[in-house]
Amino acid sequence: MDTWTLGPLVIQQSMFIIVASILTGFGVLRLRQYHEPELAKGITGRTVEALLIGLVICKLSGVLFDPQSLRDDPRSLLYFHGGAKGIWLALVLMCGYVWYREHKSSHWPVYIDAWLIAILTGYPVYRILHHFLLEGSKVTDTIIIILCALVLIIRFVGQAAAGGRRTQQLFLAFIIGHMLITTVASHVWEKPLSKGVSQGLVTGIRVGQQAPDFALEDPAGTRVKLSDFRGQKVLVNFWATWCPPCKVEMPHMQRFYSEYQDREVVILSVNAAHTEASKIVVNSFIRYWGLTFPVVLDTLGDVGNTYGVAAYPATYVIDEHGIVRDKIQGAMNEQMLREAVK
């Protein structure tokens, strides 16, 4: 999994990348206004307010878009948010708040220009770190980084005559270019391998590699292999009974499986049996949650080690040909599970 482990602390690399890119944009925001302390103070304060509003709305939107999660377990607010809908709602409300507070201000054009520049400098940092730390298309990352660099170069050539309108035009051009790049990428170099191409792939746990096969026993003693499910999409979910987010995601796992088990989709649930008090505890957990998908016991922890699991829960998405398509660290709700098997 894409995490760093520092003693008991597990840091998700994806979260580190997001924080680093936001801090970069924020730093540029402050740096460009250093010669006007009052203006810098105003724009910094409004930015912090907007970010806090966005964070709160994004988290609480889960109540609006997925109320069942809250009914299942109030701790869902800690582990889930409103997904893509929640993010868009947060962005709209953030922009609405800033517009309401500042659109009559004489500094409004300066604010717009500063925020767009901050985004155009923070986003390439996100892509650069993503390129080196996370898995995915290096080609897509590189092209988008070049696009960001070109936009910034054009923006600051002849800056004295540029003004905010030029920044807005370039930002719009960047958005259109980004959409074109990602659309072409999804249909060309990021297109999933077709049937039969998986032969000869390197075995490993990186996206695009052949997932390592394994065989474990279920609680009844029946031997189950990952390759038994070849031809189906498999969600290999690593979990433990003592893990709070594992408990939160289990109702979602079961409802999802009940809906998708007839669509060539299976959840292969790998319990970290080497961390459990006894098999009785695991069996009680299975009965309590009414789990009907396959559950196997990793009694030695070897499979978890092979798959680089440092924290629970962790899920691998494996396609019909046994190829790793995605990796998710943390609890998943039904919407996330549906997106994973599209």
Q: Could you report the average pLDDT of every consecutive run of 10 residues in the chain (342 residues)?
A: 75 91 93 80 92 94 88 89 91 95 88 92 95 86 95 78 75 96 90 54 90 97 97 98 95 96 96 96 97 98 96 96 94 94 91
Measured CA to CA, the distance from residue 241 to residue 9 in angstroms comes to 20
Domain final residue, candidates 104, 135, 166 = 135
Residues 229 and 318 in one domain: yes
Residues 131 and 237 in one domain: no
Residues 110 and 223 in one domain: no
Q: Is residue 10 part of a domain?
A: yes
Residues 222 and 330 in one domain: yes
Residues 224 and 335 in one domain: yes
Q: Is residue 207 part of a domain?
A: no
Q: Is residue 151 part of a domain?
A: no
Q: Is residue 16 part of a domain?
A: yes
φ, ψ for residue 121, nearest 5 deg = -100, -30
Measured CA to CA, the distance from residue 53 to residue 40 in angstroms comes to 20
Domain final residue, candidates 110, 135, 160 = 135
Burial of 51 (0-12, 13-18, 19+ CB in 10 A): middle
| Separate counts of helices (H) and strands (E) for the chain | 12, 9
φ, ψ for residue 332, nearest 5 deg = -125, 140
Residue ranges making up the domain that contains 15? 3-135
Q: Which CATH number fits the domain that encloses residue 284? A: 3.40.30.10
Domain final residue, candidates 85, 100, 135 = 135
Residues 117 and 234 in one domain: no
What pLDDT score was predicted for residue 158? 61
Q: Is residue 174 part of a domain?
A: no
What pLDDT score was predicted for residue 12? 86
pTM here is: 0.84
Give the amino acid at 226: L
Q: Is residue 153 part of a domain?
A: no
SS3 16: helix
Query: How many domains does the chain contain in total?
Result: 2
Q: Is residue 330 part of a domain?
A: yes
What pLDDT score was predicted for residue 193? 52
Helices (H), 194-327: 244-260, 279-289, 302-306
Residues 14 and 119 in one domain: yes
Cα-Cα end-to-end distance for the chain: 21
Residues 225 and 125 in one domain: no
Q: Is residue 188 part of a domain?
A: no
Measured CA to CA, the distance from residue 296 to residue 273 in angstroms comes to 9
